[in-house]
């Protein structure tokens, strides 16, 4: 069951809303008018949620004026430079918080970290802490999802002392430093994704899609057990593509809402461990619990376009990321190596949906795929695999999330230990990446 509510605007004058459709939350660099709604649609009889709103004739669910643009330099320090109204000076600033979650925003220009005290937002290039919210009581934030550079965030409690229930998604307006709405469920929230017009919530075995403006439930999907909350959405305006696990092991489900099409792709033999979408939702990269192969599919017809090999040994894939142009694919795993693969998905289009998947067998041999092509009909698939162009080696066993930077041929790497790396790879020579920057984002300079 999910209960939806939005909090009333204390300054609202109770005039009825305009007839024009509400606008989605704006970016930080845009201005917008307030958005109001005064009703929520009826709940279908076969739905497992209830809907409730305050008794007010209308409620407020819109970002106030946006935050100013990110500055690229720090102002002079003063005795109390932290502007956070929720910040408690009694807390020990010398003891770094424990990170519970890290995630990039939609264009990878910023990232957010949920901690056992609150949450923090950072700019990637140049690296800067933009702001933080440390709560006086509780404070644990297990999920924090940004909406580009907007002041609207989605928060879920987490850790040993959660700030909010772990079965609720809180819509936080950082301009007002308060929650302006919430989505409540019968079970723990496993993942959240935001678009300017949609909120997507993943539970253990369900995915819910809501309209951002009025919290109306638009779609609910049954999935196989999904403890990681795997779910991705495209970010192109007017072209909503959603990917989540299917009902079978190794299967992914692709929803094309514009064309009202559903596509099921049998991506792997074993369970899905990770996947990523391009910005327009046209390409999907998947990996399984074996962690040896990554496959790239056309989301419209399910065609297998390319397969690359991370390694021969089993590994847990933590993240996959496409570059903006879909020329490159980055992979992080518990092996401690970040891989960058060159993609060839813009070559001749493929339309055959019955392309048989290549076996994920881990035969041992030399990784010289192309040089052995003359006997490829005899050798196992391991010898024919496409290997990464560039690598960056980190601590094995640690959890890292990777994305492509805004500078050409760069990647940004976030560690659950607080590490921040910015590296550059040579697209021609390949090999080991060059480290450009390192810091610990749990111990940054004072925010501004």
Neighbours of 54 (CB within 10 A): 11
- Sequential DSSP letters for 291-317: -SEEEEEETTT--EEEEEE--SS---E
Print pLDDT tens along the chain (448 aa): 555 554 443 333 333 333 334 444 443 333 332 222 222 233 333 444 433 333 332 233 333 333 333 322 323 323 333 444 444 434 455 688 899 999 999 999 999 999 999 999 999 999 999 988 998 877 899 999 999 998 899 999 999 999 999 999 999 998 888 899 999 999 999 999 999 999 999 999 999 999 999 999 999 999 999 999 999 999 988 789 999 999 999 999 999 999 999 999 999 999 999 999 999 999 999 999 998 899 999 999 999 999 999 888 888 999 999 999 999 999 999 999 999 999 987 533 343 333 344 344 333 233 334 333 444 444 455 445 688 899 999 988 889 999 999 999 999 999 999 999 999 999 999 899 999 999 999 885 554 4
Report the pLDDT value the prediction gives residue 445, as an integer from 0 to 100: 56
* Predicted pLDDT of residue 96: 83
H/E stretch holding 240: none
DSSP 372-428: GGGGTTTS-HHHH-B--SEEEE--TT--EEEEE-SSTTEEEEEETTSEEEEEE--TT
Tell me which DSSP letter residue 25 carries.
Answer: P
> What global pTM score does this model have?
0.74
Q: Pick the closest to residue 21 from 260, 212, 193 (CA basis).
A: 212
pLDDT of residue 5: 53
CA distances from 118 to 94, 102, 172, 240 (A): 16, 12, 12, 31
How far apart CA 180 and CA 63 sit, in angstroms, is 9
- What is the structure's pLDDT at 237? 81
Q: What is the pLDDT, as a whole number, of residue 189?
A: 97
């Amino acid at each position: 069951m999910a209960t939806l509510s939005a909090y009333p605007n204390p300054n609202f004058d109770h005039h009825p809303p305009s007839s024009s459709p509400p606008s989605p939350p704006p970016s930080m660099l845009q201005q917008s008018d307030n958005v109001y709604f005064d009703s929520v649609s009826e709940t279908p009889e076969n739905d497992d949620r209830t809907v409730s709103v305050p008794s007010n004739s209308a409620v407020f669910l819109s970002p106030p004026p946006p935050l100013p643009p990110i500055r690229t330099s720090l102002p002079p320090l003063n005795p109390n430079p932290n502007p956070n109204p929720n910040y408690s000076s009694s807390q020990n600033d010398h003891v770094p918080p424990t990170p519970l979650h890290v995630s990039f925003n939609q264009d990878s220009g910023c990232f957010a970290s949920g901690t056992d005290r609150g949450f923090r937002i950072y700019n990637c290039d140049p690296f800067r802490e933009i702001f933080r919210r440390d709560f006086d009581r509780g404070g644990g934030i297990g999920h924090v999802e940004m909406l580009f550079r907007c002041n609207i965030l989605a928060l879920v409690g987490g850790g040993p002392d959660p700030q909010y229930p772990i079965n609720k998604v809180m819509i936080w307006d950082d301009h007002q430093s308060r929650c302006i709405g919430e989505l409540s469920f019968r079970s723990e929230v496993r993942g959240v994704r935001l678009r300017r017009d949609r909120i997507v919530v993943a539970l253990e075995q369900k995915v819910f899609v809501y309209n951002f403006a009025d919290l109306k439930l638009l779609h609910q999907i049954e999935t196989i057990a999904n403890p990681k909350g795997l779910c991705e959405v495209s970010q192109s305006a007017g072209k909503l593509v959603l990917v989540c696990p299917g009902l079978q092991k190794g299967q992914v489900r692709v929803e094309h809402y514009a064309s009202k099409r559903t596509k099921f792709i049998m991506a792997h033999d074993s369970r899905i461990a990770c996947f990523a979408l391009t910005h327009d939702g046209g390409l999907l990269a998947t990996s399984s619990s074996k962690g040896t192969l990554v496959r790239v599919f056309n989301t419209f017809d399910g065609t297998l376009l390319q397969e690359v090999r991370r390694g021969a040994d089993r590994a847990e894939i933590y993240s996959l990321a496409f570059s903006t142009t879909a020329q490159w694919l980055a992979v992080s795993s518990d092996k401690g190596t970040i891989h960058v693969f060159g993609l060839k998905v813009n070559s001749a289009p493929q339309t055959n949906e019955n392309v048989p998947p290549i076996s994920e067998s881990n035969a041992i041999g030399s990784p010289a795929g192309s040089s052995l092509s003359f006997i490829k009909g005899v050798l196992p698939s391991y010898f024919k695999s496409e290997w990464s162009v560039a690598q960056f080696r980190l601590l094995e066993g640690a959890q890292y999330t990777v994305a492509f930077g805004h500078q050409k041929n760069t990647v940004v790497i976030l560690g659950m230990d607080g590490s921040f790396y910015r590296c550059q790879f040579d697209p021609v020579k390949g090999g080991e990446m060059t480290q450009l920057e390192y810091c610990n984002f749990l111990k940054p300079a004072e925010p501004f």
